[in-house]
Chain A
Amino acid sequence: MMIQLTATPTSALIDEPVHIRATGLPPFQIVVLQATLKDEMGNLFHSHAYYKANEVGEVDLERAPSLGGDYVGVHPMGLFWSLKPENILTKLLKRDVMSSPFLVQIKLYDSNLPLIHIPTTAPKVSLTLERWYTAPGTKRIQVREGHIRGTLFLPPGEGRFPGVIDLFAGVGGLIESRASLLASHGFATLALAYCDYEDLPSQPEKTDLEYFEEAVNFLLRHPKVLGPGVGIVSISKGAEIGLSMAIHLKQVTATVLINGPNFVIRIPQVYRGQISQPLPFSPQLLSINALGLAEFQHNFEEARNEANENFLLPIEKAQGHFLFIVGEDDKNLNSKAYAKQATEQLRRNGKNNWTLLSYPGAGHLLEAPYSPLCCASKISSLHLFIHWGGEVTPHAIAQEHSWKEIKKFLRKHLLPVVTSQL
């Protein structure tokens, strides 16, 4: 009997699961499945898992447990989210989200082949999958209006769509991958840059919320955007901004805050003359882990203990709804503590406009489902390796679960009541 490897669907959005099966194997034979991906810069990512065929010579990843390798247990998408770069510090990031997919090769080998020989050995059988960041018909529009810089992704089809602003962490550039996926799921999403992009300042000295207000108004004015409110999906430093937008702008009706602070970080915020100062940072509270990676999650503790409430962002003033997403193993920000404090502040003010999802074992960089865990990054301007945290399997589970919750949350609060499901 011929060995066959099938995967369905072979071409899909990256957040869609794939059903992988192998048939025609000798009964109870142990095989190794390998996934390989090469990103746009030529970086290679690999994952491996060992499976045992059943009595009829089949391995069905929806039922069979991996016995070892990059993950263990029943994880149908394990080969994707356990992909590891050849260099531990490389992050998987799609630059061109529109015109090309990531190609993932799945290969099957005998288990007695040492891993080191795999690259030079022909697999028994293999196939290639396409993983796309946009659904067919999604439109991408470069935005350069007023001060706003970013990219607007419009879902396929006629009509109007709920508007979302996507804010990434960061100093620099523009990440489009999450915005393009949200658009593929029916949200008109503006991936908004806020520094070091085109003519935006490379090192802003302050965060001006009027810039973000301009972006909200731009989105609501767009003929394809359904109002009256917008949503925000934001992570890390982006979530500090997302939280502040929710507080000051009544048009923000649904805000997703992923691993963010409930205070201002690093540079002051201004809004119509009002200034919010950043919380002081204590460099001496840095921890270095066993692998030599820098962990910053305690660096605000001294200031938090000594600071008065004025440093906390007045979340009780926000009129919309919040979804807090926390990776409990975040080694970059003490996300769990900040979310807890923010939700307690809401409770004390009699508000119940929030949901908190806290994921044990998940790290700082919570992304779309099946994204590989990036555990550390090198910062070129600082001679430092930053540990983001997260354990591979729980982090993957958190990404899968939180993504569903994010979409549900946005639909619930941005779609008119008559069309939403109860």
Chain B
Amino acid sequence: MQALSRSFSWDFSLQLKSLLSPYRAGNTTPSLSQLPMVQLTATPASALADEPVHIRVTGLRPLQMVTLMASLKDEKGNVFWSRAFYKANEVGELDLMQTPAFGGDYVGVHPMGLFWSLKPKKAFQRLLKKDVMNSPFWITLNLYDSVCFEDVITDQVMASQVVQRWFSGPGLQRVQIREGRVRGALFLPPGEGPFPGVIDLFGGRGGLVEFRASLLAARGFAVLALAYFAYEDLPSDLLEIDLEYFEEAANLLLAHPKVQTPGIGVISVSKGAEIGLAMACFLKQVVATIWINGTNAIFEFPLRYKDMVITPIPTFVERMQLDISGAMRLRHYKGDPWDELNQQSVLPIEKALGSILFIVGENDECMNSKEYAEQALHQLRSHGRNNGRMLLYPGAGHLIEPPYSPLCYASPNKNFSLPLLWGGDPAAHAAAQEHSWGEILKFFRQHLTQTRSKL
């Protein structure tokens, strides 16, 4: 029985370890003069999570093969890790800004590859910082003297460095919001202000996700991370979108002494982007909207705003697909907003007064983001409007987040019995996150900052 269970272990038996011996021959007995010379530096060692880190290694033997590994334990104790195999140059140095990885979790020159290719040891975990104010993520960088591709590393660490990744900066203030119906957390940059105001909306996981709001605040915006269900005394399930709740939040933000008037921005992803687009259409307070991988119509449950009710386009449970990993692909699940029977559910985007930036991951496995964005832009053009623009990222998936966030393959969602597949090719997704973040900051600075020049 044991033999049968190993019958497909072709080529990767115990004998493989002996294949590695040529690579270890010179490495097993390092001379005393060799060891202290190896240095691993990561600069800056402590920084905001959206800042790049420059990793270098010196003091290696010329052309030495090494493994660089990153590991992190999140606040729930889940371990995430990544590794890449590098070859030192003729003077025994590695510079991740120049040196390509041969293999591992990524290939080629990727200075931040160890960060965005972090993977959970336990399948389907998503890396999300809960406490954004008081602690960073600590990422341990370890250097090993050979190509370590097994899950258990028996080699000794040659050099090690810990980097801190913070989601807030010095002087940033977090204010818990419980006013009227509004629930969330307001992040205020240091200083008198006033600062451009932004509402940050996440998607169907509910609760309150703060890390993007706090990072935006660290970049000079007054950001309200707004919860809308499954948080404190808000409804535990999302059964309808009451746009007056979001208007109340917008007005609350605008009323704050440190927030600029008369208009705010919205940054929104997934189900949150459906809401964000509705806010853009109906609330004049919203002058700049970022829509990430959302919809252009109302789905699943109705939207209400004062007397108006927009009924949803139905979803089709039979169109759910299962991925080889067992995760659920919902991409084809929703009804068609182009269908003439569904037109009353399509958001009247031509009514939006402000500017809209559509950020789309072409490999989104959760929804047909590209089609929704294209239909929305088509609708704008057909009404003679040009206040919408799309950034389309090939290879990027659903969860486009701030730079260097690891790609999450799939993760559980309380509304479904199986994890949801998000999609995305790791390297392309990472590039999309890096590029789109710059565009997000530029967009908000351009459309929200009135008194400063455009630089």
Residues B104 and A286 in contact, CB atoms below 8 Å apart: yes
Cβ of A172 < 8 Å from any Cβ of B? yes
Residues A68 and B103 in contact, CB atoms below 8 Å apart: no
Chain A residue contacts of B7, Cβ below 8 A? 93, 168-175
Cβ of A197 < 8 Å from any Cβ of B? yes
Most buried by A among B147, B317, B418: B317
Residues of chain B from 104 to 119 with CB closer than 8 A to chain A in the complex: 104-105, 107, 117, 119
Residues A285 and B102 in contact, CB atoms below 8 Å apart: yes
Q: How far is the CB of B121 from chain A (nearest CB, A)?
A: 8
Residues A284 and B150 in contact, CB atoms below 8 Å apart: no
Cβ of B29 < 8 Å from any Cβ of A? no
Chain B residue contacts of A172, Cβ below 8 A? 3, 6-7, 9, 13
| Contact stretch, chosen from A9-17, A109-117, A212-220, A224-232 | A109-117
Cβ of B318 < 8 Å from any Cβ of A? yes
Q: A171-B13, A286-B147 are in contact. Are A292 and B4 (CB under 8 A)?
A: no
Chain A residue contacts of B45, Cβ below 8 A? none
Residues B6 and A67 in contact, CB atoms below 8 Å apart: no
Residues B6 and A285 in contact, CB atoms below 8 Å apart: no
Cβ of B244 < 8 Å from any Cβ of A? no
Cβ of B89 < 8 Å from any Cβ of A? no
- The 8 Å CB contact of B10, one of A171, A282, A286, A292, is A171
Tally chain B residues at the interface, Cβ within 8 Å: 54
Cβ of B308 < 8 Å from any Cβ of A? no
Q: Which residue on chain A has the smallest CB distance to residue B148? A: A283
Residues of chain B from 263 to 292 with CB closer than 8 A to chain A in the complex: none
Residues B11 and A237 in contact, CB atoms below 8 Å apart: yes
Residues A284 and B103 in contact, CB atoms below 8 Å apart: yes
Q: How far is the CB of A385 from chain B (nearest CB, A)?
A: 8
Q: A69-B322, A284-B103, A383-B151 are in contact. Are A203 and B14 (CB under 8 A)?
A: yes
Cβ of B131 < 8 Å from any Cβ of A? no
CA distance A84 to B327 in the complex (A): 12
Residues B150 and A383 in contact, CB atoms below 8 Å apart: yes
Most buried by A among B19, B20, B425: B19
Residues of chain B from 394 to 421 with CB closer than 8 A to chain A in the complex: 407, 409, 417-418
- The 8 Å CB contact of A383, one of B87, B152, B322, B418, is B152
CA distance A381 to B104 in the complex (A): 20
- The digit string for A358-387, where 1 denotes a CB below 8 A from any CB of B, is 000000010000000111010111111110
Chain A interface residue number, banded: 35 or more
- The digit string for A252-288, where 1 denotes a CB below 8 A from any CB of B, is 0000000000000111000000000000011111111
Most buried by B among A95, A112, A287: A287
Q: Which residue on chain A has the smallest CB distance to residue B107? A: A287
Chain A residue contacts of B13, Cβ below 8 A? 171-172, 203, 379, 381-382
Q: How far is the CB of B277 from chain A (nearest CB, A)?
A: 27
Residues of chain B from 62 to 90 with CB closer than 8 A to chain A in the complex: 65, 83, 85, 87
CA distance A298 to B149 in the complex (A): 14
Residues B325 and A291 in contact, CB atoms below 8 Å apart: yes
Q: A68-B318, A72-B321, A266-B15 are in contact. Are A88 and B326 (CB under 8 A)?
A: yes
Residues of chain A from 281 to 305 with CB closer than 8 A to chain B in the complex: 281-288, 290-292, 294, 296, 298
Cβ of A30 < 8 Å from any Cβ of B? yes
CA distance A282 to B5 in the complex (A): 27
- The digit string for A156-192, where 1 denotes a CB below 8 A from any CB of B, is 0000000000001111111100000000000000000
Q: How far is the CB of B20 from chain A (nearest CB, A)?
A: 6
Q: Which residue on chain B has the smallest CB distance to residue A391? A: B324
- The digit string for B312-346, where 1 denotes a CB below 8 A from any CB of A, is 00001111111011100000100000000000000
Chain B residue contacts of A30, Cβ below 8 A? 318
Q: Can you name 15 A-B residue pairings with CB atoms under 8 Å? A: A69-B322, A84-B322, A88-B325, A112-B317, A169-B8, A171-B6, A171-B13, A196-B3, A285-B103, A291-B325, A365-B8, A381-B9, A382-B16, A383-B151, A385-B151
Q: Which residues of A contact B (CB under 8 A)?
A: 30, 32, 48, 50, 52, 67-70, 72, 84, 88, 91, 93, 95, 111-112, 114-116, 168-175, 196-197, 203, 236-237, 265-267, 281-288, 290-292, 294, 296, 298, 332, 365, 373-375, 377, 379-386, 388, 391-392
**A-B pairs, 6 with minimum CB distance:** A173-B3, A50-B318, A116-B417, A383-B151, A169-B10, A284-B85
